[in-house]
Amino acid sequence: MDICRILHVRDKMITTAPASADDAPFLFELFCSTRWDEISSWGLEPKMAEQILHMQWRAQTQAYQQQFPHMKHWIIFADKKKAGRIIVDQTQNEIHVVDISVLPAFRNQGIGTHLLRAWQREASETEMPLTLSVYASNPARRLYDRLGFSVSFTDDLYVWMKWCGENQTCAKEPEKKEV
C-alpha cells in the first residue's frame, strides 16, 4: 500500500514518508517518549536511564528487523513536523501493524485513528485481516477497541488483536509473534 498520501485531520495536514537512517535521532526521541514514565519510575540517574533506553531501542530495532524482514517503516508528519512512526509488515495472509507511535504533543488528535482506518481500508480491499499487538496496560488499547479490533489471544504482557472487513472471514488466528 502506498500510505504516503495526504490526510487532513482536525485542520492538520498528515503525511507519511519512508523512514531513513537520518531519522534515527527522531526515532530514539519517539521511543523515549513511549517509555519514559516506566524508566523514570525506577529512580535511576538521568544518564543511566538514557543508556538503558538506548539499549532497549537498539534491541527493539534489531528484533523488528529480524522478525519482520519485509516491513515498511514510515515517519508520520503533522503539518510538516515529525509526529510519529508507523511500521507495517504485509504477508500473503495478513497485514500486521508492527508499531505505531505518536509523540505526546500530537496524541489524541486523530492521527493514529486516521492511519489505522487507512490500513483497515487496505485490509478490506485485499481481503486480509489487519493484526497488531499492544501492551495490556497501554491506553492505545481503547483506540483499537473503538476501531473494531477484537482480541485474538493474550499473555502476561501483550494483547494480540485482529480486525476483519465486513466481507471477510477471520477464523484463522495469526501466528503468535514475539514483540
Q: What is the mean pLDDT of residues 7-22?
A: 83
Residues 88, 147, 140, 163: is their CA dihedral positive or negative?
A: negative
- Cα–Cα dist 127/124, whole Å: 5
pTM value surpassing 0.85: yes
pLDDT attached to residue 179? 45
∠ CA 143-152-107, rounded to 5°? 15
Contact between residue 101 and residue 76 where contact means Cβ atoms under 8 Å apart:
no
Half-sphere exposure of 168 (CA within 13 A, CB side): 20
Cell numbers given for 35: 517509555
Q: pLDDT, tens digit, for every residue of 21-48?
A: 999 999 999 999 998 877 777 888 888 8
- Cα–Cα dist 94/10, whole Å: 30
Name the DSSP letter for residue 176: P
Task: Domain 7-163: give its CATH superfamily.
Answer: Gcn5-related N-acetyltransferase (GNAT) (3.40.630.30)
> What are the extents of the domains in the chain?
7-163
